[in-house]
Chain A
């Protein structure tokens, strides 16, 4: 395996880490006004992700930085090409992040309500736009011979991409609901589980539609064949299994299943892409792991750094989840956020 392939795998791992981890705190954010009927409940909901949201977001920052380091042409074409959606994504992330920290630091109801809507809106916008962006990566966008995106803004809002956005929103909400059912108590816990049940049905439907649409809108058929293989099939089985585990009230296993669904969907996506990193619908060629890449020297340096530090990060982030494994009770005098 050469460094270029290795780095596509590493970047895929970073994006998967981001979707799996930040996915549930986006989901929690979207569910905030839905599941949290009063201030105490909303504070409890926020506190389930309080210690984790920032560390989860770093997966995105690292994925972006790694893309810049390993595939600068991909980074440049993607980020300049998807300018306005990325700008909106940033605004969503900004408002959401500040809202987590600021929300409960004042008692005034309008203050809290405003920040709650920032959490909701920011999480929703970010989830949707990420789905749109990734769908467009696979579907293909107009790129010229100089690797410049030449498609304009509305090109990015094609039906397949919008469907991708809807998929991420629904799946993140499911993922978040299951997370909440594991991290809260009493009324909130039950409400989260019931909502997860409904979201599960929506997720299966949306993902099925998205899968079929992928056959028509992307190179999935030509690159993976009619039988897409073990990975996407396992992903579909996993999302079906979510329903079983919710019904039998084994929410931990349900959560494992949504993790598998999300990760395997992304692996499938990268499989479809490989060896490209950004599909072009013309006039220029797609960017691939060689044309978009840094020099071998750079890839080698970065590999040495990554091989040491990615496991280290996994260890201490894993430990932080262990430290905060207990459920949150909706008693505000004991809540930090």
Chain B
């Protein structure tokens, strides 16, 4: 099999898998920090136990996020050495900064937080978790600065030999693409975390376990969820409008818009013919795509076939059409899941705030079923934005063929691909096992959060200890 296809498949699998763990880290860290802040300010023990309960789940998820992330940093060099050589001058910097600023901060202070309950004052201990929350969100910023360069390259100069170098760091970090992508990711993190906390809290509320822990958890999550689901969609919409301008082929592929239209219709459901690039069957709503793209009922949205022609003129012969079946359905799944989540979150907000009836059993049961819903949105969102950039690794600058490592054979990639699948397969089972176990058993299993026992080092003499 072609090494390029294997390399792409491996990158997709490892990235999607990593992003199973990232959103929960981003959002839950903040939620836990809020809970512990309430503990510090009120002194109420229920807030402390609440913090420790969610903290344990957080730690399990965080470990998986860390180890799967290292794989990605190495993978650029391992499987995409052509890409690394070409963009390294620009792309390497945000990655290095992410590690130096964010990874050190979050890893060091999470260790301090998990192990330091009895060793630090309450004030210092809560600062630790706030630093973890800050650091993980800063890490998201820097990796998205790097990814935004791939979507919309800025701040670079092209050299006579065709290579590119960074010419303006401030342009790199103020790339307009980031200011859509970063909030979208953060809000997706809050959405995922809100549904996680709502679902598990609902599970316990239905069984009337420890309501002093789970009622406040549930209510906090409902507020976060209501705000985050709405904002992530509003921001996502702006991001899509930005993409119509900067990456029109991606949006055309997301809409299965084969031919340019003015006014452009929105597809609700399309079965397409990929080879001939036309519809087999489609339910379309007239004008709606123009409305979404430009906030008015007319306006041309470029189609796949026209863009292909345009790109061949601009960039040379080749295939510039992303696999529309992936982009089209990824987009629908993401938006569909997102709309359902808005509905559910606003319903929960209504039940909790207006009806003051957070123990409504139907609502609770629904939320125990939909914990996984955000993961459909986050996964398909990334598939859309990355697969939709085909054939570009950096839009307009370097294509997949030139990016892959030329000296890594298909055989070698088979080994690593199968290795990751096996190891990741086992680990996801172990993770789900542990998360379910600790989510269900609640605080009975929480005796581990006490500190390590110790002897003051002054007592230790001549290495005898006690």
- B416 proximal to A (CB < 8 A): yes
User: Inside 8 A of A60's CB, which chain B residues have their CB?
Assistant: 70
User: Inside 8 A of A260's CB, which chain B residues have their CB?
Assistant: none
Q: Is the Cβ of B93 less than 8 Å from the Cβ of A301?
A: yes
Q: Is the Cβ of B98 less than 8 Å from the Cβ of A251?
A: no
Q: Is the Cβ of B460 less than 8 Å from the Cβ of A327?
A: yes
Q: Is the Cβ of B71 less than 8 Å from the Cβ of A72?
A: no
Q: Is the Cβ of B165 less than 8 Å from the Cβ of A249?
A: no
Q: Is the Cβ of B77 less than 8 Å from the Cβ of A68?
A: yes
- B410 proximal to A (CB < 8 A): no
User: Inside 8 A of A150's CB, which chain B residues have their CB?
Assistant: 407
- B450 proximal to A (CB < 8 A): yes
A313 to B105, CA, bound (A): 8
Nearest CB of chain B from residue A313's CB, rounded to whole Å: 5
A84 to B412, CA, bound (A): 7
Number of B residues with CB within 8 Å of any CB on chain A: 83
- A205 proximal to B (CB < 8 A): no
Q: Is the Cβ of A66 less than 8 Å from the Cβ of B423?
A: no
- A309 proximal to B (CB < 8 A): yes
- A139 proximal to B (CB < 8 A): no
A77 to B408, CA, bound (A): 11
Q: Is the Cβ of A324 less than 8 Å from the Cβ of B92?
A: no
A316 to B132, CA, bound (A): 13
Which residue on A lies nearest to B94, using beta carbons? A69
User: Inside 8 A of A324's CB, which chain B residues have their CB?
Assistant: 115-116, 119
- B453 proximal to A (CB < 8 A): yes
Interface of B: prevailing SS? helix
Q: Is the Cβ of B169 less than 8 Å from the Cβ of A328?
A: no
Q: Within residues 293 to 328 of chain A, which ones have a CB less than 8 A from any CB in chain B?
A: 294-295, 297-298, 301-302, 305-306, 309-310, 313, 316-317, 320, 323-328
User: Inside 8 A of A249's CB, which chain B residues have their CB?
Assistant: 462-463
Number of A residues with CB within 8 Å of any CB on chain B: 83
User: Inside 8 A of A90's CB, which chain B residues have their CB?
Assistant: 70-71, 74
Bitwise, B449-466 to A at CB < 8 A (1) or not (0) is 111111111001011011
A60 to B66, CA, bound (A): 13
Nearest CB of chain B from residue A208's CB, rounded to whole Å: 28
Q: Is the Cβ of A98 less than 8 Å from the Cβ of B64?
A: yes
- A97 proximal to B (CB < 8 A): yes
- B104 proximal to A (CB < 8 A): yes
- B174 proximal to A (CB < 8 A): no
Nearest CB of chain A from residue B221's CB, rounded to whole Å: 24
Q: Is the Cβ of B100 less than 8 Å from the Cβ of A323?
A: no
Q: Is the Cβ of A327 less than 8 Å from the Cβ of B93?
A: no
| Given A251-B463, A324-B115, A336-B452, A75:B84 Cβ within 8 A | yes
- A335 proximal to B (CB < 8 A): yes
Q: Is the Cβ of B92 less than 8 Å from the Cβ of A72?
A: yes
| Given A61-B99, A69-B92, A83:B451 Cβ within 8 A | no
| Given A54-B111, A84-B415, A76:B77 Cβ within 8 A | yes
User: Inside 8 A of B93's CB, which chain A residues have their CB?
Assistant: 69, 298, 301-302
Q: Is the Cβ of A51 less than 8 Å from the Cβ of B112?
A: yes
- A181 proximal to B (CB < 8 A): yes
- A36 proximal to B (CB < 8 A): no
Q: Is the Cβ of B88 less than 8 Å from the Cβ of A69?
A: yes
Nearest CB of chain A from residue B380's CB, rounded to whole Å: 25
Which residue on A lies nearest to B142, using beta carbons? A65
16 A-B residue pairs with Cβ-Cβ distance under 8 Å, sorted by A, are: A50-B115, A51-B116, A58-B108, A64-B99, A65-B97, A68-B73, A83-B405, A83-B408, A94-B67, A104-B448, A105-B60, A106-B434, A147-B85, A181-B463, A333-B450, A336-B451
Q: Which 7 A-B pairs have the closest CB atoms?
A: A72-B88, A79-B77, A69-B92, A326-B454, A185-B465, A68-B92, A101-B63
Residues of A within 8 A of B (CB): 47, 50-55, 57-58, 60-62, 64-66, 68-70, 72-73, 75-81, 83-84, 86-87, 90-91, 93-95, 97-98, 100-102, 104-106, 147-150, 153, 181, 184-186, 189, 193, 249, 251, 294-295, 297-298, 301-302, 305-306, 309-310, 313, 316-317, 320, 323-329, 331, 333-336
